[in-house]
């Protein structure tokens, strides 16, 4: 049984990938220059003409795009096709500032769903599978993407959307879901709820999960795998590129293959914009090669990761990206120290705590303070009479060893931290409220 949706593309030799990318890039730059006034202006300002781009070796000549550009161009300024040729929009959650609205032609949707079909087949998905889609339906891209992929593979979809966990569990058990798709924090919540209802991991028919849309650690992966009795795979994407499926994990579970026949990935130094060599850690930048309606070139994702072209045992030749190690705009600077929430999560899970936590950062008398509220399991809770202060101290110490700064740890009662059905809110930075 083949684990590929499009084997000829997914395993093509690296020289062929470069050739395909070069040919598509030349055409795409022309398309963008002719149709997207906003980007034409940026190219003109930089003195670059479409004729200057003869292949991927010229990519670095093109200007970058950032989220700020998309906000400036909102809503129609980045459109590469007349509205009458567009069939769909999706949008980011827009917690800060204006939402980004992305447009799709029918061909854009087809390419997107093919990418998601590759992701589904890479985890062993077939037309025999029952795919429970517990990402939110609607403006968010999560559900539409994986459902489109499941349709292409011919699997049966349970379009549950996120939330209503009782009903999720009932459908999962009654209809024998075999692949679960949702955010990792929601997967952890479903796993916890199953346990509370007395189910054991072997009681469900699940074999795999495709989890993404937010950062999660290897420790959390192991927790979910154990709790649900499955293999948990990562999937990455962003609304601006299309949604989930820009990259996906294969059986090796050591990073996500980027669909390089549709996207060129670069790693840059986030401070200087300089392109870094393979293996360097930096900000991921994408160029869409096939997108018609929302054709972004050199889009800065803010996600920090490393690319690797090491041979993969799955046979795919597409470059792999590590899990994003945080976003350059997610990074907290506390007393001058760079802190990523994922570092704290790693410590919590290593020390035997739950992934239910919240970080509260504040500024008192011009001094940054960091508190980490961590939920105890019911077993830990009943065990700890008298010992909580010691446990808090020891956890604070473990975090200090990792970060170099001293947090205050509060161990809180089971179920006292609000659960997330979509992307989890891990950080409350009260300093921002003061700006």
Task: Output 22 or 168, the one with its CB closest to ligand DLL.
Answer: 168
Q: Which among 4-12, 229-237, 260-268, 378-386 is the span making contact with ligand DLL, rule CB under 6 A?
A: 229-237
- Closest to ligand DLL by CB, 101 vs 289, is 101
| Closer residue to ligand DLL, CB minimum distance, 225 or 303 | 303
CB of 342 to ligand DLL, least distance (A): 9
Q: What's the token pair of residue 255?
A: 């990073």
Total binding residues toward ligand DLL, as defined by CB under 6 A: 21
Give the 3-state secondary structure of the chain.
CCCCCCHHHHCCCHHHHHHHHHHHHHHHHHHHHHHCHHHHHHHHHHCCCHHHCCCHHHHHHCCCECHHHHHHCCCCCCCCCCHHHEEEEEECCCCCCCCCEEEEEHHHHHHHHHHHHHHHHHCCCCCCCEEEECCCCCCCCHHHHHHHHHHHHCCEEECCCCCCHHHHHHHHHHCCCCEEEECHHHHHHHHHHHHHCCCCHHHCCCCEEEEECCCCCHHHHHHHHHHHCCEEEEEEEECCCCEEEEEEECCCCCCEEECCCCEEEEEECCCCCCECCCCCEEEEEEEECCCCCCCCCCEEEEEEEEEECCCCCCCCCCCEECCCCCECCCCEEECCEEECHHHHHHHHHHCCCCCCEEEEEEEECCEEEEEEEEECCHHHHHHCCCCHHHHHHHHHHHHHHHHCCCCEEEEECCCCCCCCCCCCCCEEEHHHHHC
Binding mask 198-217 for ligand DLL (x = CB under 6 A): --------------xxxx--
Distance CA 419, CA 211 (A): 16
Tell me how far, at minimum, the Cβ of 366 lies from ligand DLL, in Å: 31
Smallest gap from residue 2 Cβ to ligand DLL (A) = 24
**For ligand DLL, the closer CB: 270 or 324:** 324
The DSSP bridge pattern shows strands 130-133 and 179-182 to be parallel
Q: Considering beta carbons, is residue 244 or 407 the nearer one to ligand DLL?
A: 244
Query: In the complex, what is the shortest distance from the CB of residue 407 to ligand DLL, in angstroms, rounded to a whole number?
Result: 23
Q: Is 219 in the site for ligand DLL (CB under 6 A)?
A: no
Question: Could you tell me which stretch among 74-82, 135-143, 288-296, 412-420 binds ligand DLL (CB under 6 A)?
Answer: 135-143
Residue 327: which of 19, 95, 21 has the closest Cα?
95
Report in angstroms how near the CB of residue 53 gets to ligand DLL at its nearest: 26
- Output the smallest distance, CB 141 to ligand DLL, in A: 5
Q: Segment contacting ligand DLL (CB under 6 A): 126-134, 158-166, 321-329, 365-373? A: 321-329
Stretch that binds ligand DLL, among 72-80, 311-319, 322-330, 380-388 (CB under 6 A): 322-330
Q: Which is nearer to ligand DLL, 62 or 232 (CB)?
A: 232
Q: How far is the CB of 325 from ligand DLL (least distance, A)?
A: 9
Residues 136-175 that bind ligand DLL (CB under 6 A): 141-142
- 324 scored as a contact of ligand DLL (CB under 6 A): yes
Q: How far is the CB of 247 from ligand DLL (least distance, A)?
A: 8
d(Cα 78, Cα 71) in Å, to the nearest integer? 10
Closer residue to ligand DLL, CB minimum distance, 81 or 302: 302
Q: How far is the CB of 282 from ligand DLL (least distance, A)?
A: 14
- Minimal distance in Å, beta carbon 400 to ligand DLL? 26
Binding to ligand DLL in span 232-261, by CB under 6 A = 234-239, 243-244
The pair of structure tokens assigned to 73 is 């161009």
Give the C-alpha separation, 243 to 145, whole Å.
7
Q: Which residue is nearest to ligand DLL (CB)?
A: 212
Exactly one of 306, 323, 361, 372 binds ligand DLL (CB under 6 A); that residue is 323
Whose Cβ is closer to ligand DLL: residue 191's or residue 301's? 301
Closest approach of Cβ 119 to ligand DLL, in Å?
9
State yes or no: residue 92 binds ligand DLL (CB under 6 A).
Answer: yes
Measured between alpha carbons, how far is 163 from 135 in angstroms, rounded to an integer? 9
Region binding ligand DLL by CB under 6 A among candidate stretches 124-132, 162-170, 230-238, 359-367: 230-238
Sign of the dihedral through C-alpha 206, 210, 214, 216:
positive
Could you tell me how far CA 51 lies from the centroid of its own chain?
35
Site residues (vs ligand DLL, CB under 6 A): 92, 135, 141-142, 212-215, 234-239, 243-244, 301, 303, 323-324, 327
């Amino acid at each position: 049984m083949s684990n590929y949706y499009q084997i000829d593309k997914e395993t093509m030799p690296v020289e062929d990938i470069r050739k395909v990318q070069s040919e598509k890039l030349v055409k795409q730059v022309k398309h963008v220059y002719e149709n997207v006034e906003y980007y034409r202006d940026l190219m003109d300002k930089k003195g670059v003409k479409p004729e200057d781009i003869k292949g991927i070796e010229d990519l670095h000549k093109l200007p970058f795009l950032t989220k700020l550009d998309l906000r400036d161009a909102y809503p129609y300024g980045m459109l590469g096709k007349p509205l009458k040729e567009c069939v769909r929009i999706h949008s980011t959650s827009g917690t800060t500032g204006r939402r980004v609205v992305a447009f799709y032609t029918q061909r854009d949707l087809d390419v997107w769903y093919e990418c998601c079909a590759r992701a589904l087949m890479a985890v062993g998905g077939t037309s025999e599978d029952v795919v429970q889609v517990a990402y939110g339906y609607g403006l968010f891209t999560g559900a539409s993407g994986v459902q489109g992929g499941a349709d292409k593979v011919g699997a049966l979809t349970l379009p549950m959307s996120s939330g209503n966990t009782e009903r999720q569990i009932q459908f999962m058990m009654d209809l024998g879901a075999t692949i679960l798709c949702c955010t990792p924090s929601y997967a952890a919540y479903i796993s916890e709820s199953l346990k509370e209802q007395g189910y054991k991991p072997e009681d469900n028919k699940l074999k795999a999960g495709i989890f993404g849309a937010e950062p999660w650690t290897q420790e959390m992966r192991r927790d979910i795998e154990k709790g649900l009795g499955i293999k948990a795979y990562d999937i990455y994407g962003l609304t601006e590129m299309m949604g989930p499926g820009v990259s996906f994990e294969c059986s090796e579970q050591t990073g996500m293959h980027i669909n390089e026949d549709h996207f060129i990935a670069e790693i840059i130094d986030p401070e200087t914009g300089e392109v870094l060599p393979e293996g360097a850690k930096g900000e991921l930048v994408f160029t869409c090669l096939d997108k018609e309606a929302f054709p972004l070139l050199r889009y800065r994702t803010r996600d920090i990761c490393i690319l690797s072209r090491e041979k993969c045992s799955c046979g795919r030749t597409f470059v792999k990206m590590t899990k994003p190690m945080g976003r350059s705009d997610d990074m907290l600077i506390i007393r001058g120290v760079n802190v990523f929430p994922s570092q704290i999560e790693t410590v919590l899970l290593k020390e035997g705590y739950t992934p239910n936590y919240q970080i509260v950062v504040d500024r008192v008398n011009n001094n940054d303070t960091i508190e980490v509220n961590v939920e105890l399991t019911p077993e830990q809770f009943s065990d700890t009479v008298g010992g909580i202060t010691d446990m808090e101290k020891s956890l604070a110490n473990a975090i200090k060893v990792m970060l170099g700064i001293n947090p205050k740890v509060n161990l809180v009662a089971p179920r006292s931290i609000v659960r997330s059905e979509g992307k989890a809110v891990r950080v409350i930075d009260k300093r921002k409220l003061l700006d």
